[in-house]
Structure 1
Amino acid sequence: MQRLGTGIGWRPEIADAVERMPDVDWVEVVSENLCPDHPPESLKRLRARGVTVVPHGVSLGLGGAERPDEGRLTALAERALALGSPLVTEHIAFVRAGGALTASPRLEAGHLLPVPRTRDALDVLCENIRVAQDALPVPLAVENIAALLSWPGEELTEGQFLYELADRTGVRLLIDVANLHTNHVNQGEDPARALAELPLEALAYVHVAGGFERDGVWHDSHAHPVPEPVLDILTNLASRVTPPGVLLERDENFPEPGELERELAAIGKAVELGRTAAVGRTATVGRTDGVGHPAGIGRTTAGGRPPRATAAPEADEPESTTARKAGEPAAGAPEVIAAESAVAEATRQRLGLAQTALLSALVAGTPAPEGFDRVRLAVQARALASKRADVVAKIAPELPVILGAGYRPAFLAYAQAHPMSGGYRLDAMEFAASLLSAGEPDDREARRALRAWWLERSGPAPRSHRPAVRAARAARRVLLRR
């Protein structure tokens, strides 16, 4: 795996500062925010200096019940080629549910939600990752996410789930130590155990970020300084393996450049402390394993691998299933292959129904699925609505200006009654249309400005957006009659 070094998440708000940072070896850019034909000039200058740029996807939904969307995969591949990237990254999460698979309305979360750590979910995720790997021109790495809630009836720990995923697909891992800390606070999971169970030889790079705690819940905000417990987990990881790259994520509430540089220095110090600890233990034990881990540190089997999460396939397991789990084509007669395919679709449908029930409870106010913590569901629902309001304000900054202090309460009221079914840009348009249809805002000048904003953006769109166009044109006709 390519050595990346020290990196920072590139964002337009800090582009100039990142260019002036002397110790930044690489940057990561949110794939969906980038046009491959017209990358920002800042990224062009960084690439000209030899700085590696890695596209980081957030909307693929590899953990969802449906197979990855071809258009999203093509877009991710285009960005990797345009940037000359050595790899691309995405998340182990689902971001939408419903649709034809479950015969229910399609819902968008607008954020990353955890997949259940079950055999069904793992089977679906492995197949989805293989589909993505086949479509991408460079290697794929997937990231563990932060979670405000957990699924009932989980069968694997986070480390076991990630180990089997990497073992079955060969996918690289992007380990976010801030997310391990989040899951420690919110779910009581042990970060050290997760690190001990991971196949660290599959490590692509590491994310580090800040957050905050409120009412006993840790929020992975990417808008606060990196706390000491997160740096401690990074040190633990670095004592087990030398990370190919470590990257600081900051998405908003950006500090002065000097503060960012101090955070990068603290991250470098945490990694060095881990290396020093590893050297000390190696000297004591007198040997290391085959991949550079201090012998005996989080390893209990030969070859530098953690214990298998499960035993070998049972003797009565069909050969074709065993071959598929190993990443090989299913073997056997056509009827056997057809039966396996049917089982796979049934597995996807079970997962799809479960994810739809959860997402509907979070964004549409339907009853909580059995076994979930209702308090945590409420926390997650508020977080999703808040995130949605923040993103719409960012991509349509005129709306908070037009509506002033009334923007946020108006949007949260809208979100409560209107689950998101498309992207954020469509969400902004539908929010504005709903206000105008209700004769809001009360201020005549603000209403006139909002109407002008909406009319300016509700014209023709690409053929691929025809459903959204039809909805926008219907609303346009209603508004023009007012």
Structure 2
Amino acid sequence: MELGIGIGWRPEIADTVEELPGVDWVEVVAENICPGHLPAALTRLRSRGVKVIPHGVSLGLGGADRPSEQRLADLAERATALGAPLVTEHIAFVRAGGVLTASPQLEAGHLLPVPRTWDALKVLCENVRIAQDALPVPLALENIAALIAWPDEELTEGQFLAELVERTGVRLLIDVANLHTNHVNRGEDPSAALDELPVEAIAYVHVAGGIERDGVWHDTHAHPVTQPVLDVLTELRSRVSPPGVLLERDDDFPPAAELSAELTTIRATLAAAAAPGPHGGRSTASGPRGEARAHEVPEARGQVETGRWSSPAPRERVALDQAALLSALVAGTPAPEGFDSRRLRVQSRALAAKRADVVAKVAPELLEILGAGYRAAFLAYAKSRPMRAGYRRDALDFAEQLLVAGRPEDDNARRLLTRWWEERVAPHPPRRSTRLVRAARAALVRR
């Protein structure tokens, strides 16, 4: 299925996307779409024959738990409502804890990397099959960007993706910006990953911008696409002609002319890479990828054949590992053995910042009420209160915590915040004594 050149559709740039020349298709964040009330701008695009693909962010197929039936049903409903030819998600986990670990479930609020181990691969494959059975259209999965690396991984990224495709038949959404991110942050060679992964399974490609700070690449989706990312796109195009390529932008949206220029640059990059030359027309059918899978992967597979993969309770082992990592990131518990503590602190700050940004979007009234003090207050709250039930609940819990503490200090702001909270939760915010009782109960549960 040929898609062509696309752009991520966001409400903030809905009018711009309609006017951009040469946009063949768009991608929407699945969780932001209500099937019964599609935005008029999306409906107009569909009437013009522009394909719309829902892109999920909350399934957590790389997590230890089996995927939620309700989340799968919601994603299937969105695919049907949009007439989508496929749906996409991520190779990531987004929550941990719960029944498998006999501990409270924690939400990351963002995508976290799956360990590239045989245990994690088995769990991921089972979850992917469950999702495939529940969805009305094919599924494609995206490689994610990571600030941290799991210790003692057994597979490279390319090998992990190749094994996933072989066992499930799932398609791939390759994000070249994420390959660049993992090059900077984890020392992984994008060319080696492209050599090892099954490029023929690519459904489409993401291209996005980011920024480097203190030797760490942040995949922001809020900056222009850089040349190193375009270089990875060139490497990919030298191996395969992807059915579609999409520009992602989630924040700090530039004028229409700049978005159009970035799309033009992407087209030019693809055209140049396809031309005859040192890399043009390169085929990997019997090249580097074949060599890697003939030597390295079967060596790891021997662990499966001798019982490594069939050892008991892989879900439980994955669950404990992921819960320990997420707890260190969002609840301040000690770092699990083998992780880079400095990188964990960077990831922890990034998760808290992302959480603050999203809460401000889902509850913009909090920004209006608290003004310049919002961000510092939220980050202080987030240090001791992990997210457990999504961003809207997080906004309410944040407001409740401020009110219980007698904040904000400004009387008018406190009245406004009380009214906002009351309208959404209950007639009266809890008293301090109620809050203390809740905290004591939560402490007993954690024990």
Asked if Structure 1 and Structure 2 have the same fold, meaning a TM-score greater than 0.5 normalized by the shorter chain, the answer is yes
Q: Paired residue for 2:439?
A: none
* Deviation for aligned residue 1:392: 0.1
* Deviation for aligned residue 1:476: 3.5
Q: 1:294 to 1:98 in 2, by over 3 A?
A: closer
Q: Which amino acid aligns with 1:68?
A: P
Q: 1:411 to 1:314 in 2, by over 3 A?
A: closer
Q: Paired residue for 1:361?
A: 328
Match of 1:380 among 313, 335, 347: 347
**How many aligned positions are there?**
434
State whether structure 2 residue 388 is matched by structure 1 residue 401: no
| Matches of 1:190 and 1:213, distance apart in 2 | 17
State whether structure 2 residue 31 is matched by structure 1 residue 64: no
| Matches of 1:300 and 1:154, distance apart in 2 | 21
Q: 1:419 to 1:242 in 2, by over 3 A?
A: same
| Matches of 2:302 and 2:286, distance apart in 1 | 29
Q: Paired residue for 1:470?
A: none
Q: Paired residue for 1:222?
A: 221
| Matches of 2:339 and 2:278, distance apart in 1 | 44
Q: Paired residue for 2:412?
A: 445
Q: Paired residue for 1:413?
A: 380
Could you say what secondary structure the match of 1:18 adopts? helix
Q: 1:307 to 1:477 in 2, by over 3 A?
A: same
Q: Paired residue for 2:317?
A: 350
Using the aligned pairs only, state the percent identity. 66
| Matches of 1:382 and 1:201, distance apart in 2 | 37
Matches within 5 A, 1:22-33: 22-33=21-32
Q: Paired residue for 1:310?
A: 297
The 8 Å contact of residues 96 and 326 in structure 2, kept in 1 or not, is answered as yes
Instruction: Please list the CA deviations of residues 371-428 of structure 1 after superposition, one character each: whole Å capped at 9, or x if unmatched.
Output: 0000000000000000000000001001011001100000000000100011000000
| Matches of 1:104 and 1:18, distance apart in 2 | 45
Runs of 4+ in 1 over 6 A off after TM superposition: none
The 8 Å contact of residues 160 and 308 in structure 1, kept in 2 or not, is answered as no
State whether structure 2 residue 399 is matched by structure 1 residue 432: yes
| Matches of 2:81 and 2:290, distance apart in 1 | 43
* Deviation for aligned residue 1:145: 0.2
The 8 Å contact of residues 239 and 278 in structure 1, kept in 2 or not, is answered as no
The 8 Å contact of residues 163 and 309 in structure 1, kept in 2 or not, is answered as no
* Deviation for aligned residue 1:273: 1.4
Q: Paired residue for 1:392?
A: 359
Q: Which amino acid aligns with 2:37?
A: H
Q: Which amino acid aligns with 1:101?
A: L
Q: 1:296 to 1:347 in 2, by over 3 A?
A: closer
Q: 1:269 to 1:227 in 2, by over 3 A?
A: same
Could you say what secondary structure the match of 2:396 adopts? helix
Q: Paired residue for 1:463?
A: none
What stretches of structure 1 of length at least 5 have no aligned partner?
283-287, 326-339, 460-472
The 8 Å contact of residues 89 and 141 in structure 2, kept in 1 or not, is answered as yes
Q: 1:228 to 1:443 in 2, by over 3 A?
A: same
| Matches of 1:298 and 1:316, distance apart in 2 | 24
Q: Paired residue for 2:49?
A: 50
Q: Paired residue for 2:85?
A: 86
Instruction: Please list the CA deviations of residues 289-329 of structure 1 after superposition, one character each: whole Å capped at 9, or x if unmatched.
Output: xxxx377654446xxx95465228659948xx99xx9xxxx
Could you say what secondary structure the match of 1:262 adopts? helix
Instruction: Please list the CA deviations of residues 217-236 of structure 1 after superposition, one character each: whole Å capped at 9, or x if unmatched.
Output: 00000000000000010011
Instruction: Please list the CA deviations of residues 241-292 of structure 1 after superposition, one character each: whole Å capped at 9, or x if unmatched.
Output: 001000000000000000000000111111111111469755xxxxx8xxxx
Could you say what secondary structure the match of 1:101 adopts? helix
Instruction: Please list the CA deviations of residues 67-121 of structure 1 after superposition, one character each: whole Å capped at 9, or x if unmatched.
Output: 0010000000000000000000000000000001100111000000000000100
Q: Paired residue for 1:190?
A: 189
| Matches of 1:86 and 1:458, distance apart in 2 | 39
Instruction: Please list the CA deviations of residues 173-205 of structure 1 after superposition, one character each: whole Å capped at 9, or x if unmatched.
Output: 000000000000000000000000010110000
Could you say what secondary structure the match of 1:310 adopts? helix
| Matches of 2:170 and 2:304, distance apart in 1 | 28
Q: 1:10 to 1:296 in 2, by over 3 A?
A: same
| Matches of 1:63 and 1:249, distance apart in 2 | 23
Matches within 5 A, 1:98-247: 98-247=97-246
Q: TM-score when scaled to structure 2? A: 0.93
Could you say what secondary structure the match of 2:54 adopts? strand
Instruction: Please list the CA deviations of residues 26-74 of structure 1 after superposition, one character each: whole Å capped at 9, or x if unmatched.
Output: 0000000110111100000000000000000000000000000100000
Could you say what secondary structure the match of 1:146 adopts? coil
Q: 1:405 to 1:95 in 2, by over 3 A?
A: same
| Matches of 2:295 and 2:388, distance apart in 1 | 40
> How large is the RMSD of aligned CA atoms in angstroms?
2.3
Could you say what secondary structure the match of 2:387 adopts? coil
The 8 Å contact of residues 181 and 219 in structure 2, kept in 1 or not, is answered as yes
| Matches of 2:397 and 2:220, distance apart in 1 | 27
Could you say what secondary structure the match of 1:159 adopts? helix
| Matches of 2:374 and 2:303, distance apart in 1 | 61
Q: TM-score when scaled to structure 1? A: 0.86
Could you say what secondary structure the match of 1:64 adopts? coil
Q: 1:101 to 1:315 in 2, by over 3 A?
A: closer
Could you say what secondary structure the match of 2:297 adopts? coil
